[in-house]
Amino acid sequence: MKILMLSKALIVGTYQKKPEEMAALDGVELTVVVPPGWNDPRGATRLERMYTQGYNLRVSPIAFNGNFHLHFYPKLRKIVREVRPDIFHIDEEPYNLATFQAMRLARSVGARTVVFSWQNLLRRYPPPFSWMERYVLNHTDALLVGNREAVNVWQGKGYRGPVHLIPQFGVDPAIYYRRQRVSKRGRVSVFKRRNVSAPSQPALVIGYVGRLVEEKGLEILLLAASKLKGPWIMQILGDGPDRKRLEQLAQWLGISGRVTFDQKMPSGHLPNYFSGLDVLVLPSLTRANWKEQFGRVLVEAMACDVITLGADSGAIPEVIGDAGLVFPEGDVEALREHLQRLLDDVSLRAELRQKGRRRVTEQYTQAAIARHTVDVYRRLLGEPVPDFNVPTF
């Protein structure tokens, strides 16, 4: 079974564990096409090479790099003709030019197609994007979606083919696990560096990892933390246009000595960062044109025995399940109450850490997601899949 996958997301090194796991399955011959980097307006990302065994990673030039809707691959036709895949997995939204390009090329060689989508808002696009979207929906053999709301979106747009609920990527428990914790003495030194009186008990380390933009709700987190009673510190990892305002807010609230803003780091360093946290908070705020589609940092944190606490925006409650805590988005007092419970209840923290790690190993490993994805391919090719248990709509 020859598989061709087009995915700009796979420039991220830790994500490349998924194609390694796919290639290790019986009968899979995998080629992955990625650009040399992606010039996202929020910050450029260059190709990382971390997990590249067992499959062919091909780097192809990309036109209109950084333009989400209009980018495409000028040399993709040549690659498709060389590989002549049985399955072409297009890791792009149905309304993008790159997806339209790949779909037409797949049909030119008789390949079955799978398209992945995160889209959890029912949005209507003007031509030519609506035309490309309709073409893709009319010709793809299956959709993969990363959250349940996406099922409703695409069925609401008239798609009647199979839809499989499989997250785009998982985590590798051999990479994402809790490293040795900083000692209590080390924790006291943190307070000294910040001119904060050292507590008699270890402080609760509250964390956030992601973009520093208004819709991520960091203001809600800072306001809630400022009202906590007991020892705590906060680590915020990321960058974005909201950083200066958030730093000023922390100072205005009188908690700047407890809050550090850390710079974005390579994906391979994140397990070490997560290992220094007790709880990861994702306080996202739904907007007319955006809501959380998954919240990958939640899964990464749970794998590292970090408690997850999220707003009920988009897919966050779906990802956390019963392994963490959820609060109404924008509700400062509800978030404060959850954080205070975690500060006060050591047994609750232990219980949620165990539930989180178990949830990841059962549902969100790269190996499980790779296996489920390949099972979809096999079904499209008429091959038997005896234990097919992927949710299908």
According to the CATH classification, is domain 2-170+365-380 in 3.40.50.2000?
Answer: yes
Q: What is the pTM of this model?
A: 0.83
Segments of the chain scoring below 70 in pLDDT: 181-201
pLDDT value of residue 391? 74
pLDDT value of residue 185? 37
Residues 150-168 have pLDDT tens digits of 999 999 999 999 999 999 9
**Spatial distance between the Cα atoms of 237 and 251, rounded to a whole number of angstroms:** 18
Domain residue limits, the chain: 2-170+365-380, 184-363
Residues 174-230 have pLDDT tens digits of 889 998 754 443 344 444 545 555 555 689 999 999 999 999 999 999 999 999 999
Task: Say yes or no: do domains 2-170+365-380 and 184-363 share a fold.
Answer: yes
pLDDT value of residue 181? 59
Strand order of the β-sheet with 2-6 is: 56-59, 29-34, 2-6, 87-90, 112-117, 142-145, 163-165
pLDDT value of residue 199? 55
pLDDT value of residue 387? 77
pLDDT value of residue 390? 76
According to the CATH classification, is domain 184-363 in 3.40.50.2000?
Answer: yes
Helix, strand, coil percentages for the chain (3-state, nearest 5): 40, 20, 40
